[in-house]
């Protein structure tokens, strides 16, 4: 399924263990953090090499299309990895959440990287991600991508995201994220995952400072 035999099986177990089962330190959360960065490195390197004539704006749009939550969840579903998630018995439906599925994929990427190295994880990513030749349309990108592209087009500083507050339990967290662009403004968003809250903050920012200004 993953194309790799793990020497350290504990990495694989951790990659599929939700915080509701083991707590944040023994769950996939730390691996997810690393996996997000490893995925970013592999995708960015591939895009730069595969599209040598693309400018920064095009590369950014392509990258966000491939790394957004829905894209990661789709890979998880295609491989059937959501059926392997270990969580507390009362957390029914948790494995069907796109946010959880995308977290699992990032945790698996980190586990592959730690156990097999960069070549192994690169093979996994490039095998399971479809890199479209055609540039994704605006509708296919997420609010964070749209906001970053707008900031670049307006010669503004890039959006800065900051965690304002985290509440709730380990298995039902709630995040509040603030996004700001120097000289433009600041908005907040809330969600059940860090990424979800970032997207909501970006969506609110676009609504207040970008879309409304056009109307």
Quick one: pLDDT band at residue 75, thresholds 50, 70, 90? very high
Quick one: pLDDT band at residue 98, thresholds 50, 70, 90? confident
Over residues 146-158, mean pLDDT = 88
Please identify which of the residues 32, 103, 106, 198 carries the catalytic annotation.
106
Instruction: Give the pLDDT of residue 153.
Output: 86
Is the pLDDT score of 38 beyond 70? yes
Dihedral over alpha carbons 120, 123, 127, 130 (to 10 degrees): 120
Quick check: pTM over 0.85? Answer: no
Query: Is residue 96 annotated as a catalytic residue, yes or no?
Result: no
Residues of the chain with CATH 1.10.1520.10: 9-136
Instruction: Give the pLDDT of residue 123.
Output: 96
Is the pLDDT score of 173 beyond 90? no
Q: Averaging pLDDT over each range in 42-46, 140-144, 148-152, 171-175, which range is the top one?
A: 42-46
Instruction: Give the pLDDT of residue 105.
Output: 94
Least confident of 77-86, 92-101, 133-142: 133-142
The angle formed by the CA atoms of residues 197, 68 and 33, to the nearest 5 degrees, is 70
State which CATH number among 3.30.70.270, 2.60.120.200, 3.30.360.10, 1.10.1520.10 fits the domain covering 9-136: 1.10.1520.10
Is the pLDDT score of 93 beyond 70? no
Which of the pair, 45 or 91, is modelled with greater confidence?
A: 45
Query: Is residue 103 annotated as a catalytic residue, yes or no?
Result: no
% pLDDT > 90, the chain: 46
SS (H, E, C) the chain: CCCCCCCCHHHHHHHCECHHHHCCCCCCHHHHHHHHHHHHHHHHHHHHHHCCCCCHHHHHHHHHHHHCHHHHHHHHHHHCHHHHCECCCCCCCHHHCHHHHHHHHHHHHHHHHHHHCHHHHHHHHHHHCCCCCCCCCHHHCCHHHHHHHHHHHCCCCCCEEEEEEEEECCCCEEEEEEEEECCCEEEEEEECCHHHHHHHHHHHHHHHHHHHHHC
Please identify which of the residues 29, 32, 36, 198 carries the catalytic annotation.
36
Is the pLDDT score of 165 beyond 80? yes
Over residues 61-74, mean pLDDT = 89
Whether 61 and 94 have beta carbons less than 8 Å apart is answered as no
Is the pLDDT score of 139 beyond 60? no
Residues of the chain with CATH 3.30.160.20: 143-214
Is the domain covering 143-214 a CATH 3.30.465.10 domain? no
Which pLDDT tens digit goes with each residue over 43-64?
A: 999 999 999 999 888 898 899 8
How much is the mean pLDDT over the chain?
86
Instruction: Give the pLDDT of residue 205.
Output: 95
Q: How far apart are CA 117 and CA 113, in angstroms?
A: 4
């Amino acid at each position: 399924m993953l194309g790799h035999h793990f020497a350290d099986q504990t990495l694989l177990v951790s990659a599929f263990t939700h915080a509701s089962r083991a707590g944040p330190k023994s769950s996939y959360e730390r691996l997810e953090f690393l996996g997000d960065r490893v995925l970013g490195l592999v995708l960015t390197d591939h895009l730069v090499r595969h599209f040598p004539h693309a400018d920064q704006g095009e590369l950014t749009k392509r990258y966000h299309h491939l790394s957004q939550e829905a894209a990661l969840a789709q890979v998880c579903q295609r491989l059937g990895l959501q059926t392997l998630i270990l969580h507390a018995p009362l957390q029914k439906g948790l494995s069907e959440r796109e946010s959880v599925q995308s977290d699992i994929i990032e945790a698996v990427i980190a586990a592959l990287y730690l156990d097999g190295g960069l070549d192994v994880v690169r093979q996994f990513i490039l095998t399971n991600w479809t890199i479209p030749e055609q540039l994704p349309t605006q509708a296919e990108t997420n609010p964070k991508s749209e906001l970053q592209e707008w900031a670049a087009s307006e010669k503004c500083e890039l959006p800065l995201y900051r965690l304002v507050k985290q509440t709730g339990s380990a298995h039902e967290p709630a995040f509040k994220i603030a996004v700001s662009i120097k000289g433009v403004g600041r908005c907040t968003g809330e969600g059940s995952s860090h990424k979800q809250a970032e997207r909501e903050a970006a969506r609110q920012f676009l609504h207040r400072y970008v879309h409304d200004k056009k109307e």
